[in-house]
Amino acid sequence: MNATPSSARPEKPRVGLFVTCLVDLMRPSVGFAAVKLLEDAGCIVDVPIQTCCGQPAYNSGDRGTTRDLAMQVIEAFQGYDYVVAPSGSCAGMIKAHYPELFEEDPNWRAKADALAAKTHELTSFLVDVLGVTKVDASFDGAVTYHDSCSGLRELGVKTQPRRLLASVEGLTLVEMKDSDVCCGFGGTFAVKYSDISGAIVEAKTRNIDEAHAPTVLAGDLGCLMNMAGKLSRDGRPIQVRHVAEVLAGMTDEPPIGAAKANAIK
């Protein structure tokens, strides 16, 4: 990983939070949980005006729009010490794919490389870069954790969230079968190939159910919405949350896809 040596790291690093479009629109509480975790770890957090990392266009073959959006993100975030996203997918886009977009443009390529080098997924930033080993939170009960694909395979996010979860008071982690297998979301795939996506998420939620934990966590809202939507459709009473909410001890909001009135506190 690209952990910055502690000597080179500013004492109070300025972090630009890349909220991600899904968290921005669907579940702002995840963003505030990320802010709390970063501030608790000694960061100064700022949120520049932003829209999306461009992944929907990138994965649909629209390189032009992707490049425009990448340039927008680069310009908005280049001034921070670090860029952190509560998503392996969006952080992976910036870290692994932005440089590829500017192979023929050395000027922008250099900027994309610079941004990629300082961009991190939230839990990996806390553990690998800041050296955080525990969080100040408690959660009553068992959880199971789904490894979202981009975070896992593009950024090596696997042990970091588990390590932090282990420090949450009252929480036990129960591993599900095939936690590292895709949930079938895949962005527009879920809509374009809904039959196949439906079959994949069916297998995933079966594994979640068989873990016998009342809560499932993951680090990407896309996957979480997919799993939550399937669990509620099938009437499986399992709560779904972003891992940041639990790590920040901010679980007042109802779980993903759950009604406000039934919010369990």
State yes or no: residue 229 binds other proteins (CB under 8 A).
Answer: yes
Rounded least distance, CB 212 to other proteins, Å: 21
Can you tell me which of 70, 84, 112, 182 binds other proteins, judged by CB under 8 A? 182
Footprint (CB under 8 A) of other proteins, residues 75-114: none
State yes or no: residue 184 binds other proteins (CB under 8 A).
Answer: yes
CA 110 from chain center: how many Å?
Answer: 26
Alpha carbons 99 and 164: distance in angstroms, whole number? 30
Alpha-carbon distances, residue 156 vs 126, 200, 247 (angstroms): 14, 23, 19
State yes or no: residue 185 binds other proteins (CB under 8 A).
Answer: yes
Alpha carbons 128 and 202: distance in angstroms, whole number? 33
State yes or no: residue 160 binds other proteins (CB under 8 A).
Answer: no
Can you tell me which of 68, 103, 105, 210 binds other proteins, judged by CB under 8 A? 68
Token digits of residue 242: 């972003």
Tell me, residue by residue from 139 to 158, as one string, x for binding to other proteins by CB under 8 A and - for no binding. Answer: ----------xx--xx----
Q: Which stretch binds other proteins (CB under 8 A): 120-128, 163-171, 175-183, 210-218?
A: 175-183
* All residues at 6 or more sequence positions from 149 whose CB lies less than 8 Å from its CB, including other chains: 88, 89, 182
| Residue 51 CB neighbours (<10 A) | 12
Tell me, residue by residue from 26 to 55, as one string, x for binding to other proteins by CB under 8 A and - for no binding. Answer: xxxx-xx--------------x-xxxx-x-
